[in-house]
């Protein structure tokens, strides 16, 4: 099946944290579309969002760091959208990313070279820096003037997150809105039976 990419959910272009949160989406039929499903794709995502220079090649370890932050970010954003308390582990993960901004090269000593300054692994620095920027954006969004408009798309099974642009708009895209309307029309016709995913 060819999957046509969805247009960005509202707020995604302005917020790195939503871009990361929405890099995995559940499609009608239940399958997941994951933009970070390999080190190569995770690299392309970072480069595409201006978070890593061209020519970067992520290792699997870095990809897993990024998907781990995404999981925690989604948990905190969803809890916020539902008006519940975030789980401490997810909050802690965001705070770790916030505070892991690479610092200056450290002072080391070796008998051969004496004192010298060594930067940590450059690739790790790129990923740490990217994650710090994403976490910073999340912290600002979740405590800023738009916090009350953070919502999950209301068109099941879509689980994208967004900043609602209009008070009544409950879905992330025209496609999700159309599916929701079709589902409602089908439900009205057939009682409470769920509609098939005719617009999948
Ligand atoms: Zn949606």
Per-residue model confidence as pLDDT tens digits over 152-170? 999 989 999 999 987 667 8
- In-domain check, residue 195: no
Q: How many angstroms is it from 64 CA to the middle of ligand 1?
A: 25
For residue 92, the domain's CATH number is: 1.10.3300.10
How high is the pLDDT of residue 192?
Answer: 56
What's the angle, vertex CA 129, arms to CA 123 and CA 137, rounded to 5?
150
In a domain, 200, yes or no: no
User: What's the whole-model pTM score?
Assistant: 0.83
> Cα(177) to centroid of ligand 1, in Å?
8
Print burial letters for 15-32: b (CB count within 10 Å at least 16), e (below 16).
bbbbbbbbbbbebbeeee
Q: In this structure, is residue 9 part of a structural domain?
A: no
Number of domains composing the chain: 1
- Under the banding of pLDDT at 50, 70 and 90, the label for residue 100 is confident
pLDDT at 86: 97
Q: How far is the CA of 28 from the centre of ligand 1 (A)?
A: 10
Residue 196 maps to a domain:
no
Q: Give distance in angstroms: CA of 89 to centre of ligand 1.
A: 27
| Residue 58 contacts residue 43 (beta carbons within 8 Å) | yes
The boundaries of the domain holding residue 98 are 16-189
Residue 6 lies in a domain: no
Checking if the pLDDT of 96 tops 90, the result is yes
Residue 152 CA to ligand 1 centre (angstroms): 8
Q: How confident is the model at residue 198, as a pLDDT?
A: 47
Split at pLDDT 50, 70, 90, the class of 1 is: very low
Q: What are phi and psi of 150, to 5 degrees?
A: -70, 130
């Amino acid at each position: 099946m060819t999957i046509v990419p969805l247009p960005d959910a509202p707020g995604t272009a302005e917020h790195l944290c939503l871009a990361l949160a929405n890099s995995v989406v559940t499609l009608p039929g239940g399958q997941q579309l994951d933009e970070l499903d390999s080190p190569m794709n995770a690299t392309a995502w970072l480069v595409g969002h201006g978070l890593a220079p061209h020519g970067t090649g992520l290792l699997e370890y870095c990809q897993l760091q990024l998907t781990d932050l995404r999981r925690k970010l989604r948990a905190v954003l969803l809890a916020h959208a539902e008006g519940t308390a975030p789980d401490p582990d997810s909050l802690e993960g965001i705070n770790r990313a916030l505070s892991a901004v690479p610092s200056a090269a450290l002072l080391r000593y070796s008998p051969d070279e004496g004192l010298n300054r060594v930067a940590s692994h450059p690739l790790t620095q790129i990923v740490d820096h990217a994650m710090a920027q994403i976490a910073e954006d999340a912290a600002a969004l979740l405590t800023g003037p738009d916090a009350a408009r953070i919502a999950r798309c209301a068109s099941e099974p879509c689980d994208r997150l967004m900043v609602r642009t209009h008070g009544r708009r409950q879905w992330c895209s025209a496609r999700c809105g159309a599916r929701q309307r079709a589902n409602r029309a089908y439900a009205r016709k057939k009682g409470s039976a769920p509609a098939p995913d005719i617009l999948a």
